[in-house]
Chains A and B, each alone.
Chain A
């Protein structure tokens, strides 16, 4: 665990190192700022020492110090200098933080593009998104806070110590000995409240789960009239939550008063000791010399403000350290993503197929998502140019698996898949995918205009070509009716389009490019049968002369196929055309006949 933390820190530093000059500048500025901030109370103290009593105020410098006039001028200069360096330091820190996280985010996103689909399918989108967004954000907060507060905090502590020592040793000792008490108090409370917070977040989690489930399915709850029962369960958790949050909030909120109490004690101690030393100022007894010599009233006031300043960073630093730890934890989650094994590299000398003729062969293909669970074993298939392959079977039978393999979203475990006689493993993924046109069951639209969405396959397509493709997919008429026509902005979760319309757009996308091989996964499931009928013709035209794989429920599509693959539980259990399969009187025949059972 510790090792992990260290290596995460190292990686973070590696990112920061691109901005090391700004970092150096920031540290320098921090040192200057702190020195100036600490110098100011000294000037104040000196000024106060100039003010002794009626008629005894030194404006021009006839006593030991410089006069009040000079001091005041100096103070104003110090104030403005401090402000400028402080601002510059903050700007530097901003610069470093935001550029570092920009780099991290960019790298994470670029990583997504080359991650194997296995990783993406195996993790919820929310998880990956929260790594790139929420974790990076949290990381930025921690980093920024670390830069601004940790640096200045440490420098302030050291600087204050130095300045205090230069004024009086014994008072400094008093402060140094007493201050860590507040840290102990804070730590003590934190460890005691840890369990309470754990209980609170557990209870809260329990409640959120219930809310998520019940409100998420409110319609079902109402349909079954379960509102009262659900509310009872909710109230039971709610009551428990109230009790444990009260404890957690109350006990943790003790930290502030308690540390403040310690600070006030330090303050009182400095006041008493300082005052005693000031009284003894005139005489130089042995005890006084032992305590570090006398102080003036001005120095006392300066020490008092130091005592305040010295304790503050201690309180802050404990907060910063938890924040930093949190930030490191977030960083390690991001790095986990960034360092995830990418998909297998492209071949060094990729084979290039000049022209896909549409022929395909699968030889002894074996594949499984998890090693222990064999899915496809020794699968052989020859598809000639222009043939139509239908994949049939109950949901979850692994129809999409086959598509995953053909498109090389996943790689086969053994055996090989050849397209136009070339093993697809020897080709660049992009070259292979160029040969396919794909319409998936889940329609996906990119945020952008309709035109951009259709022209996805060929960015250089002309307006006329886009419209023609839309017409072929029977999408033109509804696009025309949209407020901005082809310039209407659509998005994946935008509800301006119906599911069916979205699917038509996805079809138009393929219509535009018309690659030699087609993959249609339930392509028309969301389109009502009448519209579907209309696009069937377009489809038929599109499929002419092209090799196509179709995952379909509809019998009419299935029956016309040259090869029907019947899948069940991930395996291809039957293979042949409609007549052959009916003659086999197996699973397919049963499936087919059951449609007509009364």
Chain B
């Protein structure tokens, strides 16, 4: 929480004035019982109508001043809270954007989104509440006690006993019930988990005729939850009665003591009424405080989670070593004895990866699931940093490139075809590197620019085998893609993401199993188009299908994070056992011959 307080610093004035005005309002509230006492002791005893009206006027005045103060306080609190949340959201968003893949993997998307949305909202309302109420309640509790002292010290001692007792009971019950509520929450999560599981596995459950057992299991969990809820409910239902007993017994004692003191001529009747009023004010405020604390605890938990994200820093250091020049050699891309392991994972994901690629070559990467294919290509745009060894592009370590410049060279198509809400044009524009970028294929301005851009996009779409279906869509390049590309089929989405990567005319194009939703014919046409598109473009194709990579200039066969073989199709077929296994499991021997 402390970490987040810096976001309040632009709202210092508001965060001080808010509580201040609230306290002012509370002070006026504390005067009310005194005024009533005066009405009784002076007005009624003396039969002075004028005085009663005057004091009534004072009550009204107090009410008006109280209203003004609290409205002012509300305004400042709201301003500080929303301002705080806005700058916190901004910082958190840009911070999350700066995180590297390693941290993203650790956090998980769902968690990051919750941090950005509901957690910040909770903190915002927490800040708002704290500014408005957190000082007010204790202030009234102690204020009432002090006022009681000004009336009569001995009677006030009752307050001194009651307040701590009350606090112990209220906070004691809360302290015990909060963990219990957590248990209830856990029970609810289990019920939720079961429901979700039942839905995702509905086919399997029905296929195995497990409906009754599932219902039984659910009933059990549900019953447990209900029992827990009722238990906690019974316990926290004590809160009100117990506080009621304490405060009212204290009132009785107060009246009795008051009676004795009045009898001795130390106190007046009106003062006894005032004391009783102070006692009931305390009760009201303590209950409010207890509710407030629950909200604030929640906000604190959220704040803690947010700071957790903010404290995370990107593990990629960006210190562009300008001194190192790109060297022109045949070996355009080099992996030199690269080891890599994911953070927190025991075993290495990649071990001793060593190979070179010439400019303009097509590299196929094949291997089983979990053999490290995707990991390998993710090292090129420096999504992760190697553990040992180095990755060179143009003779220069990827760590010596500015991150933005490095990634501008590369067009990557990921396994999951992600498109964004917006037109086809807007989606493709993501791929276009702007003027200040490295390759700078798009420059110039004005109308001509637009048509240039269009031409570029159509060209990319054609290569990605997407031209045909985009042309058919209403509006062509201006066709609106829904969020997540829901209004396109899986294969269409995949081709769009390929077009997005191709449109930037990257030096290196990486296709990470990105033809999986395409039929064989389209896949083949795509590969052909890419090969014809550019002489200089180095292409990496990751696939499980031998057919997709068998014509590559170089094939890397990965097995369990190691290179099990590299070479051309013919060489590997002759020498590499793993490759043979993969190949023959997909093609029978004769077909292999037929194909070549």
Contacts and interface: CB of A to CB of B under 8 A. Distances in A.
Contacts of B40: 275, 297, 300-301
Contact of A215 (B85, B112, B367): B112
16 contacts: A76-B252, A83-B241, A99-B230, A109-B198, A129-B199, A220-B418, A221-B97, A222-B101, A253-B78, A257-B67, A265-B60, A272-B55, A407-B207, A442-B200, A506-B204, A591-B521
B237 A90 contact: yes
Interface stretch (A154-162, A205-213, A324-332, A540-548): A205-213
Interface in A264-302: 264-265, 267-269, 271-272, 275-276, 278-279, 282, 297, 300-301
Interface in B188-210: 188, 191-204, 206-210
Contacts of B124: 245
Interface centre among B25, B229, B483 (most CB of A within 10 A): B229
A241 B263 contact: no
Contacts of A436: 207
A311 to B, nearest CB: 13
B17 interface: no
Interface centre among A133, A506, A554 (most CB of B within 10 A): A133
A222 B97 contact: yes
Contact of A225 (B53, B202, B208, B408): B408
Contact of B78 (A94, A226, A249, A531): A249
B407 A99 contact: no
B252 A456 contact: no
Interface string A81-123: 0111011001100110011011001100110111001001000
Contact of B204 (A133, A224, A245, A440): A440
A57 B268 CA distance: 11
Contacts of A254: 71, 74
B207 A438 contact: yes
Interface stretch (B172-180, B294-302, B451-459, B583-591): B583-591
Nearest to A531: B368
B30 to A, nearest CB: 13
Interface centre among A133, A225, A254, A261 (most CB of B within 10 A): A225
B207 A82 contact: no
Interface in A182-234: 204, 207-209, 211-227, 230-231, 234
Contacts of A215: 93, 96, 109, 112-113, 116
Interface stretch (B269-277, B330-338, B461-469, B470-478): B269-277
B97 A245 contact: no
Given A301-B276, A446-B197, A554-B586, A500 B369 contact: yes
B375 interface: no
A114 B205 CA distance: 12
A164 B367 CA distance: 86
Nearest to A400: B203
A75 interface: yes
Contacts of B77: 253
Nearest to B96: A215
Interface in B271-329: 272-273, 276-277, 280
Given A44-B276, A234-B90, A238-B86, A279 B52 contact: yes
A544 to B, nearest CB: 20
B407 A98 contact: no
Interface string A305-336: 10010000000000000000000000000000
B379 interface: no
A35 B225 CA distance: 34
B584 to A, nearest CB: 9
Interface in A536-586: 536, 554-556, 559
A31 interface: no
Given A109-B198, A530-B581, A301 B252 contact: no
B2 interface: no
Contacts of B256: 68, 72
A59 B259 contact: yes
Nearest to A521: B203
B79 A246 contact: yes
Contacts of B528: 598
B150 interface: no
Contacts of A105: 191, 222
B19 interface: no
A319 B121 CA distance: 21
B578 interface: yes
Contacts of A509: 208
Contacts of B25: 257
Give the size category of B's interface with A: 35 or more
Given A47-B259, A129-B195, A231 B381 contact: no
Nearest to A262: B63
A517 B582 CA distance: 29
B386 interface: no
Q: Which 5 A-B pairs have the closest CB atoms?
A: A528-B368, A54-B265, A94-B233, A90-B237, A272-B56
A129 B192 contact: yes
A394 interface: yes
A40 B248 CA distance: 9
A462 interface: no
Interface stretch (A8-16, A427-435, A471-479): A427-435
B62 A264 contact: yes
Given A250-B74, A444-B204, A596-B595, A275 B52 contact: yes
A288 B209 CA distance: 82
Interface centre among A128, A264, A527 (most CB of B within 10 A): A264
A68 B237 contact: no
Given A83-B245, A133-B188, A72 B234 contact: no
Contacts of B242: 83
B258 interface: yes
A533 interface: yes
A133 B222 contact: no
Given A44-B255, A235-B90, A492-B200, A532 B585 contact: yes
B203 A117 contact: yes
Given A223-B381, A271-B36, A133 B591 contact: no
A299 to B, nearest CB: 12
Interface in A105-152: 105-106, 109-110, 112-114, 117, 120, 125, 128-129, 132-133, 137
A113 B369 CA distance: 35
B234 A499 contact: no
Interface stretch (B43-51, B153-161, B357-365, B390-398): B43-51
Nearest to B588: A556
Contacts of A225: 404, 407-408, 433
Nearest to B53: A272
A512 to B, nearest CB: 11
Given A216-B113, A529-B368, A590-B521, A120 B202 contact: yes
B142 to A, nearest CB: 21
Given A79-B248, A279-B52, A530-B582, A113 B547 contact: no
Interface string A477-495: 0000000000000011000
Given A225-B408, A271-B36, 19 more contacts: A51-B255, A57-B260, A75-B248, A79-B245, A98-B233, A106-B222, A113-B198, A120-B202, A217-B418, A224-B430, A227-B98, A250-B75, A261-B63, A268-B60, A282-B47, A308-B280, A528-B369, A555-B588, A597-B524
Given A94-B234, A105-B191, A267-B32, A50 B383 contact: no
Contact of A242 (B48, B83, B249, B421): B83
